[in-house]
Structure 1
Amino acid sequence: MGKADADGPGLPDLPPEWGRVVVPDDASALAEEAEQIRRELRAGVASRPRRWHPSTVPVLVLLVAVIATVAGLVTVTWPRAGRGTPEPAAAGPDPTPAQFTGRALPALDLVDAEQSPVPLRGLLPAVVLLVDGCACPHQVTEAAAAAPAGVNIVTVAAESPQAAPDGVGVRALGDPAGGLRAFLHLPARSDAVTALLADRTGRIVLVVAEVGSIADYQAELATLAG
């Protein structure tokens, strides 16, 4: 028992001269013709033009249509690594000075006047004054006068160290790579310094983006050596 293939919906159009073509429901009905083809192939006459039985052609056409359809679906749906351009991750807001409290001081190497490396974490506990925007000698002097014994006052300039005021015990260093400013995400100001206080364990106690006076961090400075 078979069904009309040329007139069925969704099937490819067949030449009218083939007449009404019937596709068998049972593929075994084509066993005789399949065996005939195999015999011809074995006999080496496969290249000779041959006449196809009308009932065989619709099966081949249907098979080709199915294969083409499946191949098209695979091509469309198959995931490809290069398809499209991934959206860049949205950058989060810069941390505020208060968000640095409790973080570890980065292990940065600064340079002294001879351009020799000086590990920043080797100077703890310390008040680090970033003076790359403003030398502000009065604020450096205030910090040195208020610092308890054992606390280092360190000034950090953008390139080479800036000379400290006379008679003030300050370690002047440079940060040519700008690593400390990059860590803090704070731009330099031409009228103020940035202060960073870190205890002897390397934990950041306080960051003051723009120091107005020693009062901005004097309470934390008094306990920094503990």
Structure 2
Amino acid sequence: MGSLSDNGGGWPGDGGSPDGLPDLPEEWGVIVVPDDLSELSDEVTAIRAELRRSLRPTRWERFADRPTMRILRRLGSAGLRAPVLIISMAILVTIASLFASTWPGPSRSPATQRTANTTDEGPGLLPALELIGTEGQTVALRGQLPAVVLLTDRCDCDRLVAQTTAAVRPEIAVVTVVSGPASATTLAPPTSTTPQAQGKTVHALRDPTDELRSTMNLGAPDGTAAVLLIARDGRIVRKLPRTATISDFQPDLARL
């Protein structure tokens, strides 16, 4: 492709190149420049391949291009991704923990406080109960302390009552309690079979609503007696849901 010259834009008449430029080598032959340069793509590809073949790789490039080195490069890139992933997860967990510790949660109700009368050892204190005496009078159970209370529903306990009365000290009362209304319950006052004449106190009381047995969790009557050993301050020293012999609680009488 040439430039325009002074003769109207044509080539010189002698066949030379315009503007005094040298002629192209004859061995190049006739050169035709196409209007669409995309037609030269095959020639460009061939020239680039020839240039690559002419460039000799260095020793390091030949060493790095070996199959073993290519495998090591792939393993190295994969091994580098794993630590990056672990570090990222650790950072996310740390941030989540910080948010969880500072985020205000639901309010918690305070734990139930133990009252002064609550105890983990022993049955506790005798409740304030009023029972019925042999003549229908109201009797406060706490007014008979210290005492051995024998619940004798459905129990043939005359011998147990006599043995208990003989074993207690004179200041300790023996109280027998049966449950149920007056029409269904017969209260026998102390007889000559008990050491009443020896200065011992024996009371026969009735519990119309069975409140003493239910409050103290003594269970249903089963033919044996339930026993409560109660100190002067109302503290229950010993509780036996069922017994038929004084030997089960006689050592505890000294604690009253």
Which position in structure 2 is the counterpart of 1:158?
179
Which position in structure 1 is the counterpart of 2:218?
186
Aligned match for 2:231, one of 174, 192, 199: 199
Matches within 5 A, 1:138-149: 138-149=159-170
Identity over aligned residues, as a percent?
39
Deviations 1:142-191 (A, max 9, x none): 11010112000000011345314534132100000111011122223342
Which position in structure 2 is the counterpart of 1:121?
142
Q: Could you tell me how far 1:210 is from its partner in structure 2?
A: 1.0
Instruction: Report the CA distance shift for 1:195/1:100 in structure 2 as closer, same or farther (over 3 A).
Output: farther
- Distance (Å, rounded) in 1 between the aligned partners of 2:206 and 2:170: 24
Higher relative contact order (CA 8 A, sep 6+): 1
Does the residue aligned with 1:209 lie in a helix, a strand or coil?
A: strand
Instruction: Report the CA distance shift for 1:139/1:188 in structure 2 as closer, same or farther (over 3 A).
Output: farther
TM-score norm. by structure 2 comes to 0.46
Does the residue aligned with 1:121 lie in a helix, a strand or coil?
A: helix
- Distance (Å, rounded) in 1 between the aligned partners of 2:213 and 2:243: 15
Matches within 5 A, 1:1-226: 101=122, 103-159=124-180, 160=185, 162-163=187-188, 164-168=190-194, 169=196, 170-224=202-256
CA contact (8 A) 2:162 2:193 kept: no
User: Which runs of no fewer than 5 residues in structure 2 stay unpaired?
Assistant: 1-119, 197-201
| Structure 1 residue identity aligned to 2:221 | R
CA contact (8 A) 1:121 1:202 kept: yes
Counting matched residue pairs gives: 126
Instruction: Show structure 1 runs of 4+ deviating over 3 A.
Output: none
| Structure 1 residue identity aligned to 2:192 | D
CA contact (8 A) 1:127 1:153 kept: yes
TM-score norm. by structure 1 comes to 0.52
Deviations 1:187-210 (A, max 9, x none): 233421000000000000000111
Bigger-Rg structure (1/2): 2
CA RMSD, Structure 1 to Structure 2 (Å): 1.8
User: Which runs of no fewer than 5 residues in structure 1 stay unpaired?
Assistant: 1-98
CA contact (8 A) 1:133 1:188 kept: no
